[in-house]
C-alpha cells in the first residue's frame, strides 16, 4: 500500500489542475496526499477551490480533514456541500464536535443539519450540549459515559465495560467514574488501575476522590484548561448542582482549547486579536490593532510634553538626549519580561491567594532593583568615559539613577498591572503590553530629567 505523500510535493500541480478543471486527474493526485497536511495549506486555496478539493477527496480522507479544520472552515463547508456529502460527516463525528460547529451557525442552518442526522442518541446529545453557552465545559463535554457502581468488583466492572463499550468510546475509558444510585459522582480510577486490581476488589476501595477536579457545566473553558494543566489530568467529570455526573471532558477535548487560549494571549500581549492571524482585509486588521495603539499614542503626547518642559536643560546638556531612548528601552524590555511571566502564570492558575500576588510583585521589584543597579553602573561608567570631562561625576550619577529607576518601575508594573487587571475583570493579556511600555516611558523620562535638573542645574 502506498504511503500518503506530503501535499507540498503536489501543491503546484493541484493548483494547476484546479485552474484547468481537470478533476479526473486531480482526484488521482489527491489520493496520494495525506489529508492531515491539507489543514496547513487550506487557507492558501480560495473558497471555491477548497470546496472542489473536499468533494474529490476519498470519503475517509475528507472526514479526517474535516475533523481537524478550524470551526469556521467546517461551518463554511457544511453550508456549501450538498446532502450527499454532508450526511457521512454528520453520521461519523462525535456529538461535542458537532455541537461546537452548530454553536457558530444560525438556528435555521442548525435545524437543517440536525434533520440530516439519523442517530437519535446523537440528536439528544447535541440538544443537551447546545443548551450550554459556547466555550463552556457543558458545551464541550461528552454526554456518553459508563456508570460504575461502588460495590462492583474489578472483574464485574471489566465485564460490564466489555459488554457496553463501542469502538468509538475507547477514549472515554482512560478514566472511569463511580456513581451512587442517584448518579452522584463518588470517585474515579483509570482503566490501568482496574485491569491491575485483584478480581474481587470492590471499586469503592480503589477509587480516588474527584472533589478537587469536578467542574460545573457553565465553567469557562479557560478555567477547565487550567485544571487539566495544574493536576496533569486525562479527564474531568462534569456535574450538575446536585453533583450528579452529566458528562466527561477528556484531555483531547481540551488540547484545542489550550492552543486557542495560548494564541489569544500571545496576540493580546501586543494589543491585537486572534482574528488578526487569519484576516485578509487590511481595514479589519487596522480596526483590531487601533485601540491599544491609541493608548500608546496618548502616552507619547504626554512624554513629548515632559521633554518640552525640560527643553532649557536639554539645550544646556545635550548629552542627556543620547541616553533617553536607551533608558526607556531597557525599562520597556524588563517590563515586558515581567508581564509575560505573570500573565502566563495567571493563565495557568499559579496565583491563588493575595499572599501569592504580594510575593510575586515583591520578587519582580527585587529583580528590577538588581537589574537596574547592574545596568545603571555599567551605563554610568560609559557615560563618565564619554562625558565625564565635560559634565563631571554628577552626569554619570543621573544616568545611573535614571536607568535603575526605569528598570525597577517597569519590572514592578509588569507584575502589578496584570494582577490588578485580573482582579477587576479586565483581560490582562489585552491591556498590559501597551500600558507597561507607555507608563515606563513616562516615569523613566520624568525621573531622568527631574534628576538632571536637580544635579546639573548649575551647568
pLDDT, residue 288, reads 60
Q: Are residues 431 and 302 in the same domain?
A: yes
Does 369 share its domain with 446? yes
Final residue belonging to a domain, choices 266, 298, 313: 266
Is residue 386 in a domain?
yes
332's grid cell: 520597556
- C-alpha dihedral (268, 271, 276, 277), degrees to nearest 10: -50
Q: Domain holding 38: CATH number?
A: 1.25.60.10
Q: Report the range of poorest mean pLDDT among 94-98, 125-129, 236-240, 256-260.
A: 256-260
User: Which comes out higher in pLDDT, residue 264 or 196?
Assistant: 196
Identify the pLDDT of residue 278.
Answer: 53
Q: To which residue does cell 471555491 refer?
A: 48
> For residue 8, what are the β-bridge partners?
none
Contact present, 200 and 155 (Cβ < 8 Å): yes
Q: In angstroms, what CA-CA distances link 151 with 179, 188, 341? A: 10, 14, 47
Query: Does 315 lie in the same domain as 194?
Result: no
Q: How far is CA 369 from CA 33, 133, 150, 180, 242, in A?
A: 57, 46, 58, 57, 52
For the chain, what percent of residues have pLDDT higher than 90?
19
- The answer to whether 189 touches 206, Cβ cutoff 8 Å, is yes
Query: Is 434's pLDDT higher than 80?
Result: no
Whether residues 284 and 253 share a domain: the answer is no
User: Could you tell me the pTM of the whole model?
Assistant: 0.61
Residue 408 maps to a domain:
yes
> What per-residue string of b and e applies to 349-370 under the rule 16 or more CB within 10 Å gives b?
eebeeeeebeebbeebbebbbe
pLDDT confidence of residue 172: 61
User: Does 218 score more than 90 pLDDT?
Assistant: yes
Residue where a domain stops, chosen among 78, 107, 135: 135
Query: Do 78 and 197 belong to one domain?
Result: no
Single residue among 77, 107, 135 that ends a domain in this structure? 135
Q: List for the chain the helix, strand, coil content (%; round to 5).
A: 70, 10, 20
d(CA 177, CA 65): 32
Decide if 140 is inside a domain.
no
pLDDT of residue 240: 94
Domain that holds residue 220: 147-266
Nearest to 148 by CA among 121, 124, 179: 179
Least confident span in 81-85, 134-138, 323-327, 430-434: 430-434
Whether 71 has a pLDDT exceeding 70, the answer reads yes
Asked if residue 299 belongs to a domain, the reply is yes
Residue 53 · residue 23 · CB < 8 Å: no
**What is the Cα–Cα distance from 187 to 207, expressed in whole angstroms?**
5
Give yes or no: residues 321 and 174 share one domain.
no
Which residue in this structure is represented by grid cell 477536579?
213
User: Residue 150: pLDDT band by 50, 70, 90 thresholds?
Assistant: very high
Same domain, 241 and 317: no
Residue 296 falls inside a structural domain: yes
What pLDDT is stored for residue 236 in this prediction?
A: 92
> Is the pLDDT score of 265 beyond 70?
no
In terms of Cα–Cα distance, which of 181, 191, 190 is closest to 244?
181
- Split at pLDDT 50, 70, 90, the class of 6 is low
Q: pLDDT class for 60, splitting at 50, 70, 90?
A: confident
- Grid cell 453520521 is found at 91
Same domain, 411 and 334: yes
pLDDT tens by residue, 151-176:
999 999 999 888 877 655 555 666 78
Number of separate domains in the chain? 3
Confidence of residue 281 (pLDDT cuts 50, 70, 90): low
Could you tell me which of 207, 208, 224, 205 has the C-alpha nearest to residue 216?
224
CB distance 193 to 161 below 8 Å:
no
Identify which of 76, 98, 5 has the alpha carbon closest to the alpha carbon of residue 54: 76
Sequential DSSP letters for 6-59: PGGGTHHHHHHHHHHT-HHHHHHHHHTB-HHHHHHHGGGS-HHHHHHHHHHS-H
Q: Is 2 inside a domain boundary?
A: no
Counting beta carbons within 10 angstroms of the beta carbon of residue 281, is it exposed (0 to 12), middle (13 to 18) or buried (19 or more)?
A: exposed
Which helix (H) or strand (E) covers residue 158, if one does?
helix 154-164
Does residue 374 surpass a pLDDT of 60?
Answer: yes
The predicted model gives 413-436 an average pLDDT of 75
Q: What is the CATH number of the domain that holds 440?
A: 1.10.357.20
Do 169 and 130 fall into the same domain?
A: no
Residue 439 C-alpha from the chain's centroid: 26
| Residue 363 pLDDT | 92
What are the b/e assignments for 195-223, b being 16+ CB within 10 Å?
eebeeeebbeebbeebeebbbebebebbe
How far is Cα 138 from Cα 122, in angstroms, rounded to an integer? Answer: 16
282 pLDDT tier (thresholds 50, 70, 90): low
Checking if the pLDDT of 412 tops 50, the result is yes
Q: Reduce the DSSP state of residue 244 to 3 states and report it.
A: strand
In a domain, 62, yes or no: yes
In a domain, 141, yes or no: no
Average pLDDT (423-447) is 73
Report the range out of 60-64, 215-219, 308-312, 398-402 with the highest average pLDDT: 215-219
Distances (CA, A) of 100 to 48, 56, 276, 387: 24, 26, 22, 65
pLDDT of res. 459: 47
CATH code of the domain covering residue 152: 3.10.580.10
> What is the average pLDDT across 216-230?
87
Average pLDDT, the chain: 82
Residues 89 and 219 in one domain: no
145-162 CB burial, b ≥16 within 10 A, e <16 = bbebbeebbbebbbeebe
Residues 344 and 439 occupy one common structural domain? yes
Dist. CA 378–CA 207, nearest whole Å: 60
pLDDT of residue 1: 43
- For residues 116 and 169, state if they share a domain: no
pLDDT of residue 146: 81
Amino acid at each position: 500500500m502506498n504511503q500518503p505523500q506530503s501535499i507540498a510535493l503536489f501543491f503546484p500541480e493541484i493548483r494547476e489542475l484546479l485552474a484547468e478543471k481537470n478533476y479526473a486527474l486531480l482526484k488521482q493526485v489527491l489520493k496520494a496526499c495525506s489529508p492531515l497536511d491539507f489543514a496547513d495549506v487550506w487557507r492558501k486555496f480560495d473558497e471555491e477551490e477548497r470546496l472542489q478539493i473536499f468533494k474529490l477527496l476519498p470519503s475517509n480522507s475528507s472526514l479526517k480533514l474535516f475533523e481537524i479544520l478550524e470551526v469556521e472552515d467546517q461551518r463554511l463547508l457544511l453550508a456549501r456541500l450538498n446532502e450527499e456529502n454532508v450526511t457521512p460527516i454528520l453520521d461519523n463525528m462525535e456529538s461535542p464536535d458537532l455541537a461546537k460547529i452548530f454553536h457558530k451557525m444560525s438556528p435555521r442552518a442548525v435545524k437543517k443539519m440536525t434533520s440530516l442526522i439519523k442517530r437519535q442518541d446523537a440528536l439528544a446529545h447535541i440538544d443537551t450540549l447546545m443548551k450550554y453557552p459556547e466555550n463552556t465545559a457543558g458545551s464541550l463535554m461528552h454526554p456518553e459515559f459508563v456508570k460504575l457502581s461502588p460495590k462492583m468488583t474489578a472483574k464485574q466492572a471489566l465485564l460490564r465495560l466489555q459488554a457496553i463499550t463501542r469502538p468509538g468510546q475507547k477514549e472515554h475509558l482512560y478514566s472511569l467514574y463511580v456513581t451512587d444510585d442517584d448518579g452522584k459522582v463518588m470517585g474515579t480510577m483509570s482503566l490501568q488501575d482496574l485491569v491491575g486490581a485483584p478480581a474481587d476488589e470492590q471499586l469503592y476501595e480503589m477509587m480516588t476522590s474527584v472533589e478537587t477536579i469536578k467542574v460545573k457545566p457553565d465553567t469557562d473553558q479557560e478555567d477547565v484548561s487550567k485544571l487539566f494543566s495544574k493536576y496533569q489530568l486525562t479527564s474531568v467529570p462534569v456535574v450538575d448542582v446536585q453533583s450528579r455526573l452529566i458528562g466527561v471532558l477528556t484531555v483531547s477535548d481540551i488540547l484545542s482549547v489550550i492552543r486557542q487560549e495560548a494564541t489569544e494571549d500571545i496576540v493580546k500581549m501586543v494589543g491585537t486579536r486572534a482574528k488578526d492571524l487569519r484576516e485578509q482585509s487590511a481595514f479589519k486588521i487596522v480596526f483590531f490593532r487601533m485601540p491599544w495603539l491609541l493608548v500608546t499614542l496618548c502616552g507619547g503626547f504626554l512624554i513629548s510634553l515632559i521633554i518640552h518642559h525640560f527643553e532649557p536643560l536639554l539645550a544646556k546638556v545635550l548629552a542627556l538626549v543620547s541616553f533617553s531612548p536607551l533608558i526607556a528601552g531597557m525599562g520597556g524590555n524588563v517590563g515586558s519580561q515581567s508581564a509575560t511571566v505573570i500573565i502566563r502564570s495567571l493563565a495557568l492558575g499559579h496565583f491563588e491567594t493575595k499572599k501569592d500576588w504580594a510575593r510575586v510583585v515583591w520578587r519582580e521589584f527585587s529583580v528590577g532593583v538588581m537589574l537596574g543597579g547592574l545596568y545603571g553602573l555599567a551605563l554610568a561608567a560609559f557615560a563618565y568615559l564619554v562625558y565625564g570631562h565635560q559634565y563631571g561625576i554628577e552626569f554619570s550619577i543621573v544616568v545611573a539613577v535614571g536607568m535603575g529607576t526605569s528598570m525597577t518601575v517597569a519590572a514592578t508594573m509588569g507584575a502589578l498591572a496584570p494582577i490588578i487587571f485580573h482582579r477587576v475583570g479586565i483581560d490582562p493579556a489585552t491591556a498590559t503590553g501597551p500600558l507597561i511600555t507607555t507608563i515606563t516611558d513616562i516615569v523613566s523620562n520624568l525621573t531622568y530629567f527631574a534628576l538632571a535638573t536637580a544635579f546639573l542645574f548649575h551647568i
